[in-house]
Amino acid sequence: MSTRVFLTHDDGFLALQNGTVDWATDDVYAVLVTHAHGTPDRATETEYSDISTDECSDLDYVRQAVGSKTITLNGTNIKFDCAKILFGESVQIEARYLYFLVGTAATPASTDLILGHVDLTGDGDANSGGLEFSFTPASSGLFYYGRSAAA
């Protein structure tokens, strides 16, 4: 599946910045959401309960823990990265959005914080067609932010 841009959600981004959430050590999981969800609202979608009704319900789908999370300095950028997220190698899954939440994939809580999402297609659901359904972050990382400019 092609690499798309990670978009932070307001409360999740703030939690990463103020230390409430530690990307490298806290449990983070990935959730697939269908096109029926409509356009994500990065200001008002703050927790799992805001997306749970549109979570993928395909028989092959299982939420995934996000592994190998790192924070590194990459030139003048602070890079947040993770390993490839594999939802299955021979599966039938349809989804448009990939959400990242703080918590445990096996037992999500309604109040699990949304860190951000990726629009996997830009329009409509991605369909694995019986093949692999996965997401691989860009070589520049899942997301990053740059050092402030000199005054």
Residues 35-75: tens digit of each pLDDT:
888 889 999 999 999 999 999 999 999 999 999 999 999 88
- Predicted confidence (pLDDT) at residue 140 exceeds the cutoff of 90: no
Task: Assign 116 to helix, strand or coil.
Answer: strand
Q: Chain centroid to CA 112: how far?
A: 13
Question: What does the buried/exposed string (b/e) look like for 36-64 if buried means 16 or more CB atoms within 10 Å of the residue's CB?
Answer: ebeebebeebbbbebbeebbbebeebebb
* Under 8 Å between Cβ of 117 and 40: yes
Considering the entire predicted model, what is its pTM? 0.93
Whether the pLDDT of residue 1 is over 50: the answer is: no
